[in-house]
Amino acid sequence: MPVKFPDVDLASEDGLLAVGGSLEPEVLREAYTHGVFPWPVSKEFPLTWFAPDPRGVIKLDNFHTPRSLAKFLKKNPFEMSFNKDFDQVITSCAEQKRKHEAGTWINSEIINGYKKLFKQGSAYSVEAHKDGELVGGLYGVCIGEIISGESMFHSKTNASKACLVHLVSTLKKAGLSFLDTQMVTPVVESLGGEEISRQEFMMMLERLDIDRSRNDIFGS
């Protein structure tokens, strides 16, 4: 039986819409095409689904690269690529230590679910290599023009930001207008991320072409 999520307007004040289910590709596609994403919040409720209001996005025309970062990236410090090492990127995101966080929401179920989604062409990764070593990465969902940024990691300064800059540049060339960041972290805000109403987000979502292929957006 096909999965159907409740209307996003039924979400709680903190954005919680549903609990339980699976992370099979068809469930994830149903979620993202309807403005919903998984975000495990505790061991008691390992799989919870959210549709927050407000919603975090980067409107690509508002993306801002700070002068110091632009100067750093002008030296081409990393070799950039798409979809070359998705498994290592998502694993490294799960292992990244973050300030003010005791653990990670990227558990084994999330990792396995998004690996399956990637194999079916509906997830992507951005990689930054230095001297042959993966030093930064970003992964997300790409269901046609629905592009999300799920998580980033870095082991070298500015490597994850380089991935985001590379991603935004590529999405703009593909004619897209925004990246779904779900929430706005300080890093995302410093680069032009903003909060919009859930209603505005859903209207933007409805205008997207969900039939475009990953290769059409990111290249082969």
Quick one: pLDDT band at residue 40, thresholds 50, 70, 90?
confident
Maximum distance among all Cα pairs of the chain, rounded to whole angstroms: 53
Quick one: pLDDT band at residue 99, thresholds 50, 70, 90?
low
pLDDT at position 96 is 85
Flag whether pLDDT at 44 surpasses 70: no
Task: Taking residues 62-90, report their average pLDDT.
Answer: 96
pLDDT digits (tens, 9 = 90+) for 57-70: 999 999 999 999 99
pLDDT digits (tens, 9 = 90+) for 117-164: 999 999 999 999 999 999 999 999 999 999 999 999 999 999 999 999
pLDDT at position 219 is 87
Q: Which residues pair with 178 in a beta bridge?
A: 59
Residue owning tokens 């927050």: 52
User: Which of residues 46 and 105 earns the better pLDDT score?
Assistant: 105
Closest alpha carbon to 182 in 105, 83, 102:
105
The mean predicted confidence, pLDDT, of the chain is 94
User: Which of residues 3 and 165 earns the better pLDDT score?
Assistant: 165
Closest alpha carbon to 83 in 26, 25, 126:
126
pLDDT at position 102 is 46
pLDDT at position 3 is 84
Burial 189-213 (b: 16+ CB within 10 A, else e): eebbbbbbebeebbebbeebeeebe
Number of alpha carbons in the 13 Å side-chain half-sphere of residue 163: 32
Flag whether pLDDT at 100 surpasses 50: no
